[in-house]
A and B are shown apart, each in its own frame.
Chain A
Amino acid sequence: MNSLSDRIQLAHGRGGRLSLSLINDEIVPRFGKGPLDGLPDAATLGSISGDIVFSTDSYVVSPYKFSGGNIGNLAVHGTVNDIFVSGGSAKWLSIGLILEEGFPMSELQLILDSIKSSADECEVKIVTGDTKVVNKGQCDGIYINSAGIGEKIKEFNLSKSRLAEGDAIIVSGNVGDHGMAILSAREGVNMENGPVSDTASVRSLVLSICQCASKVKFMRDPTRGGVAAVLNEIVSGTKLGAALDSRKIPVSNGAGALAEILGIDILNVACEGRMILICDRCVADNILSVWKSFPEGVNASIMGYINNEAQRVILKTVTGGSRLVDLPAGELLPRIC
């Protein structure tokens, strides 16, 4: 057992001396400047000219470390991306930590470093937060909630009601990387250089297309349930459908290989650094070339078009036959049959 100071104790969450040392040693050095300075109970933020865009999400991924990142990167990118795909420019984040008694301090430091590096990369500030500690066994190491505030980007007018037949469906990069990275860490398929999580921000992808924002009708980040869940959600409740071409759906080698091995449909697998954008066909090629100039958009592809087959997502397969892309049932389970 390493020495006591190397592990989180219940006292770290009880507001006493140990809480203060945790904040002063680990939180202030990383996030201390700006609204967090002086540790007020709430952050006082500047005013915003446009509408406020607000989002929150909780992160309970297990294992909390995986190839390509950890729960800290996820907690920043997930909420920042939700704001950007809703047409907002993320500015401020809150971080709520729930730690299990005995959680190694070195692991917390690694995760806090990841939160800071991701926040800096997305040019957002961590402005407020909280830490609670629960008894050993009552949580799986670490859970994080993050909430974020952004300013509405005035050029964007996003709504399902604007969708029309012939609109292009663009995905910003390889699908399913994150979900497959988690599965390969969890299923003990003991994989080396298998799939790497795509956890990243879509900030530059959104800000780089503001000049044709008026022709952009809808944006979404395909997290849980992957591309299949997002597209079914988009066409539900409308008189429109979506038609995809399997040859135009980008899949990275590692994720594709593991999906074949475990018998999983990659369209149902979560991405954490991708976005799906639906726009008027006339600006599709322009957006594609802009995105391809960014590392996080190098595999961008027009994977299909909106059509009039109401509320169905159809995939044209390599045989020339088509199939329905349905909502995933839930748990991704490795299959033998």
Chain B
Amino acid sequence: MKYIDEYRNSETASYLVGEIRKNANTLSAQKMSINIMEVCGSHTMAISRYGIRELLPQNINLISGPGCPVCVTDAGYIDTAIALARQGAIIATFGDMINVPGSDRMTLAKSRSEGCIIEVCYSPLSAIDLAEANLDKEVVFLAIGFETTIAPIISMIDSVSEKNIKNISLLTAFKLVPPALETLTSDPELKIDAFLCPAHVSAIIGAKAYETFVKKHNIPCVIASFEPVEILLGINSILKQIINGSIKVENDYERVVTYEGNTKAQELFNKYLEDDDASWRGIGVIDASGLKLKKEFSQFDASEKFKIKIKAGAPDKGCRCGDVLKGKIRPFECPLYSKACNPLNPIGPCMVSSEGTCSAYYKYSRT
């Protein structure tokens, strides 16, 4: 595929691995080991899918952060979606949510086998088709995601209000990246030396969104694409910054990410959404780390429309997804990992999503 295959050649990868090893040696000579957090689930996936961890020297550690919207969706959100389905609503959702466990391991897939109507959509646009094809039913779209996915969902609502379609609403669980970086960095138990910043969230919010954070915490923030060879490029850029002591926001994905970001999407955010405290599964509530629909658009807000409040769900005992999401422990340090908790019987969200930290480890290394 154009603008994908050209960034996947082995010789460039092996050159960059060589450069990383040289820079890592310079750092280990100064007794330094570097913890790089890849915030985004798609990075976690690419790192595991392309076996990048095993290429890195001992003193360079990649830690997976809370960057997968499914992983961080609260169990109570799933319970609410299932409750709406059982009341006869058509639930439209991305495929990622189908097997996410709510309380007592109930999932949308199980509710579908009970007879609820759960429709998997590749795009929010299909939710409009569903609503127009079922005018006698209510369609509720499970609006989860970070900035990249919020933009298409809000644009869908923009066209719904234009077309004046009445039987569609959103159950929102929107999350934002910058506030999460703030929380992770101020957690004393965590030693994060650098962030590998998400590719397409940055396309929406722009490289500028990380500047105040870097000025305040003096931690490298490098934006890299999800292509395996460009992840190696991003890691090498981080090491060079630390060695040269020039800490900054570095944009290694300039073909897509600009300094300002996607202003048209940002305008839609300002029109429809306002800041909201968000509950991150396993981490708890982070102030102003989410977005919700403004009062004047409550006709599109399922929790208002159906007077149903999202209660915090009860996570499973022994599940340490919260610590995995914060990068405090590696998946195999969790007692349930690959024993009680595995892809066929996922307990915590990190095993459910194909990009969850534990699922990626289980699938691609199982060590």
Contacts and interface: CB of A to CB of B under 8 A. Distances in A.
B363 A324 contact: yes
Contact of B122 (A187, A260, A320, A323): A187
A262 B364 contact: no
Given A333-B96, A334-B120, A335-B94, A319 B55 contact: yes
Interface stretch (B23-31, B43-51, B211-219, B322-330): B43-51
Interface of B: 1, 4, 8-10, 13-14, 17, 41-42, 48-55, 68-70, 94-96, 98-99, 109, 120, 122, 126, 129, 145, 149, 228-229, 232, 343-344, 353-355, 362-366
Contacts, number: 103
By CB atoms of chain A within 10 A, which of B122, B354, B355, B364 has the most?
A: B122
Contacts of A337: 41-42, 68-70, 94, 96, 145, 149, 353, 355
Given A318-B9, A318-B229, A323 B51 contact: yes
A329 B355 contact: no
Contact of B362 (A257, A316, A318, A326): A326
A336 B13 contact: no
By CB atoms of chain A within 10 A, which of B1, B52, B95 has the most?
A: B95
A319 B232 contact: yes
B25 to A, nearest CB: 19
Contacts of A320: 10, 13-14, 17, 51, 55
Nearest to B146: A337
Given A320-B17, A335-B94, 10 more contacts: A253-B1, A319-B228, A320-B14, A321-B55, A323-B51, A324-B366, A326-B343, A335-B95, A337-B69, A337-B353
A21 B98 CA distance: 46
Given A319-B228, A321-B51, A333 B42 contact: no
A188 interface: yes
A316 B49 CA distance: 10
Contact of B50 (A317, A333, A334, A336): A317
Contact of A329 (B8, B17, B343): B343
Contact of A262 (B42, B68, B122): B122
A322 B51 contact: yes
Contacts of B4: 260
A20 interface: no
Contacts of A72: none
Nearest to B342: A329
24 contacts: A188-B129, A262-B122, A265-B49, A315-B51, A318-B13, A318-B50, A318-B229, A319-B17, A319-B51, A319-B232, A320-B10, A320-B51, A321-B53, A323-B364, A326-B343, A329-B99, A334-B95, A335-B94, A335-B95, A335-B96, A336-B94, A337-B68, A337-B96, A337-B355
Given A319-B229, A323-B50, A337-B70, A329 B344 contact: yes
B49 A336 contact: no
B366 A336 contact: no
A105 B262 CA distance: 53
A140 to B, nearest CB: 15
Interface string A306-334: 00000000011111111110100101011
Interface in A166-185: none
Interface in A152-170: none
B225 to A, nearest CB: 13
A141 interface: no
A333 B122 CA distance: 9
A265 B147 CA distance: 25
Interface string A248-290: 0000010011001011010000000000000000000000000
A188 B121 CA distance: 9
A317 B228 contact: yes
A321 B52 contact: yes
